[in-house]
Structure 1
Amino acid sequence: MSTQLQASRRTFLQAGGGLLLGFTLPGFGAEEQKRNEKPPEAAVGQATRNMTQESSGLEPNAFIRIDRAGAVTLIIHKVEMGQGTFTSLPMLLAEELEVDLAQVKLEQAPADNERYGDPLLGGQVTGGSTSIRASWKPLRQAGATARTMLVAAAAQQWQVEPSTCTARNGVITHQASGRTLNYGDVVDAAAKMRAPKDVPLKQPKDFKLIGKPLKRLDSPDKVNGQAVFGIDVRLPNMSVASVAITPVPGGKLQSADDKKALAVKGVRQVIKLDHAIAVLADHMGAAKQGLAAAAPTWNDGPNATLTTQTLVAGLRTASEKQGAVARNDGKAQEAIARAPRKVEAVYEMPYLAHATMEPMNCTVDLRSGLCELWVGTQVPALAQGIAAKLTGLPLDKVRVHNHYLGGGFGRRLEVDFIGLAVEFAKQARGPVKFIYSREEDIQHDMYRPYYLDRISAGLDDKSIPVAWFHRITGSSIMARFAPAAVQDGIDSDAVEGAKDQPYEIPNVRVEYVRHESPVATAFWRGVGATHNIWVVESFIDELAATAKQDPLVYRQQLLKNNPRMLAVLNLAAEKAGWSQPPRSVEGKRVGRGISVQFAFGSYMSQVADVSVSPEGEVQVHRVVCAVDCGQVINPDTVVAQMESGVNFGLSAALWNEITFEKGRVQQNNFTDYRVMRINEAPTIEVHIVKSNDAPGGVGEPGTSAIAPALTNAIFAATGKRLRKLPVAATSLKA
Structure 2
Amino acid sequence: MKLAATAGGGLFLGFSWTGSLASALEVVSDTAIAAGEINFNSYLALSPDGIVTILSPNPELGQNIKTSFPMIVAEELDADWTKVKVVQAPLDTNKFERQVTGGSGAVPHSWERLRKAGATARHMLLEAAAKRWKVSAGTLRTENGFVLNPANGKKLSYGELATEASKVPVPENVKLKDPKDFKLIGTAVRNVDNHEMITGKPLYGLDFYKDGMLFAMIQRPTAFGLKLKSVDATAAKAMPGIVDVVTFKNNVAVVGKSTWQVSKARKALKVQYEAEAALESSADHDRIFKELLNSTDATVRRKDGDVEAAFKSAAKVIKSEYQCPFLSHSPMEPMNFFAHVRPDGVELVGPTQTPERARDQVAELLKIAPEKVTVQLTRLGGGFGRRLSADFALEAAELSSIIKAPVKVIWSREDDMTGGTYRPAVRYRFEAALDAKGNMIGYKLRGVGMNSGNPTREDNFPSGAVDNLLIDSVEHKSPITTGPWRAPITNFLAFAEQSFIDEVAHAAGKDPVQFRLELLDKAKKSPVGEIKYDIDRMRGVINLAAEKSGWGKKKGVAQGFSVYFSHRSYVAQVGEVELKDNKPVIKKIYAAADCGMVVNLSGANQQVRGGIVDGLGHAMYSNLTFKNGAPEQENFNSYRLIRMKEIPEVDVHFVHNGIDPTGLGEPALPPTGGAVANAIFKATGKRLRNQPFAEQEELKTV
Report the TM-score when normalising by structure 1: 0.83
Q: Report the CA distance between 1:93 and its aligned residue.
A: 0.9
Q: Report the CA distance between 1:541 and its aligned residue.
A: 0.6
In structure 2, the partner of 1:601 is 568
In structure 2, the partner of 1:719 is 685
Q: Report the CA distance between 1:531 and its aligned residue.
A: 2.3
8 Å CA contact 2:66–2:88 kept in 1: the answer is no
* Distance in 2 separating the partners of 1:262 and 1:334: 71
Residue 229, structure 1, aligned to residue 195, structure 2: no
Q: Report the CA distance between 1:633 and its aligned residue.
A: 1.1
> Structure 2 stretches of 5 or more lacking a match?
1-8, 14-28, 30-39, 525-534
8 Å CA contact 1:658–1:667 kept in 2: the answer is yes
Deviates more, 1:235-244 or 1:346-355: 235-244
Q: How does 1:539-688 map to 2 (within 5 A)?
A: 539-560=500-521, 561=524, 562-581=535-554, 583=556, 591-610=558-577, 619-688=585-654
SS at match of 1:571: helix
* Distance in 1 separating the partners of 2:507 and 2:263: 57
Q: Report the CA distance between 1:87 and its aligned residue.
A: 1.1
Q: Report the CA distance between 1:654 and its aligned residue.
A: 1.0
* Distance in 2 separating the partners of 1:159 and 1:475: 69
8 Å CA contact 1:327–1:499 kept in 2: the answer is no
Out of 302, 319, 322, the position equivalent to 1:344 is: 319
8 Å CA contact 1:592–1:712 kept in 2: the answer is yes
In structure 1, the partner of 2:57 is 77
* Distance in 2 separating the partners of 1:281 and 1:618: 52
Q: Report the CA distance between 1:546 and its aligned residue.
A: 0.8
Residue 306, structure 1, aligned to residue 272, structure 2: no
In structure 2, the partner of 1:44 is none
Q: Report the CA distance between 1:668 and its aligned residue.
A: 0.6
Q: Report the CA distance between 1:569 and its aligned residue.
A: 2.0
Deviates more, 1:408-417 or 1:680-689: 680-689
Residue identity in the other structure for 2:559? R
* Distance in 1 separating the partners of 2:41 and 2:586: 43
Deviations 1:557-607, CA, capped at 9 Å, x for gaps: 3334544323322332333333345647xxxxxx43110111222221111
Out of 164, 167, 170, the position equivalent to 2:145 is: 170
Q: How does 1:280-291 map to 2 (within 5 A)?
A: 280-291=255-266
8 Å CA contact 2:342–2:404 kept in 1: the answer is no
* Distance in 2 separating the partners of 1:649 and 1:159: 59
SS at match of 1:473: strand
Q: How does 1:80-229 map to 2 (within 5 A)?
A: 80-113=60-93, 115-118=95-98, 124-229=99-204
* Distance in 1 separating the partners of 2:238 and 2:10: 58
Q: How does 1:255-654 map to 2 (within 5 A)?
A: 255-303=230-278, 305-319=279-293, 320-321=295-296, 323-428=298-403, 430-475=405-450, 491=454, 494-496=455-457, 499-501=460-462, 504-560=465-521, 561=524, 562-581=535-554, 583=556, 591-610=558-577, 619-654=585-620
8 Å CA contact 2:487–2:669 kept in 1: the answer is yes
Q: Report the CA distance between 1:248 and its aligned residue.
A: 2.2
8 Å CA contact 1:328–1:508 kept in 2: the answer is yes
* Distance in 2 separating the partners of 1:654 and 1:373: 38
Residue identity in the other structure for 1:430? A
* Distance in 1 separating the partners of 2:77 and 2:511: 51
8 Å CA contact 2:80–2:144 kept in 1: the answer is yes
Residue identity in the other structure for 1:700? E
Residue identity in the other structure for 1:317? E
> Structure 1 stretches of 5 or more lacking a match?
1-15, 21-48, 50-59, 119-123, 479-490, 585-590
Q: Report the CA distance between 1:652 and its aligned residue.
A: 1.2
Q: Report the CA distance between 1:243 and its aligned residue.
A: 2.1
Relative to structure 1, the CA distance from residue 511 to residue 535 in structure 2 (aligned partners, 3 Å threshold; closer, same or farther) is same
RMSD: 2.6
Residue identity in the other structure for 1:577? G
* Distance in 1 separating the partners of 2:586 and 2:579: 9
Relative to structure 1, the CA distance from residue 262 to residue 611 in structure 2 (aligned partners, 3 Å threshold; closer, same or farther) is farther
* Distance in 1 separating the partners of 2:628 and 2:581: 35
* Distance in 1 separating the partners of 2:44 and 2:462: 40
* Distance in 2 separating the partners of 1:237 and 1:17: 36
8 Å CA contact 2:43–2:114 kept in 1: the answer is no
Report the TM-score when normalising by structure 2: 0.87
* Distance in 2 separating the partners of 1:274 and 1:131: 35
8 Å CA contact 1:582–1:592 kept in 2: the answer is no
Deviations 1:195-241, CA, capped at 9 Å, x for gaps: 44543322232111111112111111111111410011112133222
* Distance in 2 separating the partners of 1:127 and 1:203: 29
8 Å CA contact 1:362–1:374 kept in 2: the answer is yes
Deviations 1:495-544, CA, capped at 9 Å, x for gaps: 33753447733333333434422221111110122122112101111101
Q: Report the CA distance between 1:312 and its aligned residue.
A: 4.1
Residue identity in the other structure for 2:292? A
SS at match of 1:545: helix
Q: Report the CA distance between 1:611 and its aligned residue.
A: 5.0
* Distance in 2 separating the partners of 1:583 and 1:412: 44
8 Å CA contact 1:572–1:607 kept in 2: the answer is yes
SS at match of 1:559: helix
8 Å CA contact 2:323–2:691 kept in 1: the answer is yes
Q: Report the CA distance between 1:475 and its aligned residue.
A: 5.0
SS at match of 1:573: helix
8 Å CA contact 1:499–1:510 kept in 2: the answer is no
In structure 2, the partner of 1:239 is 214
* Distance in 2 separating the partners of 1:283 and 1:128: 36
Q: Report the CA distance between 1:656 and its aligned residue.
A: 1.5
Residue identity in the other structure for 2:271? P
SS at match of 1:260: helix
Q: Report the CA distance between 1:624 and its aligned residue.
A: 1.2
SS at match of 1:234: coil
8 Å CA contact 2:567–2:662 kept in 1: the answer is yes
8 Å CA contact 1:252–1:275 kept in 2: the answer is yes
Deviates more, 1:357-366 or 1:405-414: 357-366
Residue 699, structure 1, aligned to residue 665, structure 2: yes
Query: What fraction of aligned residue pairs are identical, expressed as a percent?
Result: 35
SS at match of 2:127: helix
SS at match of 1:643: helix
SS at match of 1:116: coil
8 Å CA contact 1:90–1:101 kept in 2: the answer is no
Q: Report the CA distance between 1:70 and its aligned residue.
A: 4.1
* Distance in 1 separating the partners of 2:166 and 2:262: 54
* Distance in 2 separating the partners of 1:192 and 1:316: 70
In structure 2, the partner of 1:54 is none
Relative to structure 1, the CA distance from residue 193 to residue 334 in structure 2 (aligned partners, 3 Å threshold; closer, same or farther) is farther
SS at match of 1:538: helix
Relative to structure 1, the CA distance from residue 577 to residue 356 in structure 2 (aligned partners, 3 Å threshold; closer, same or farther) is same
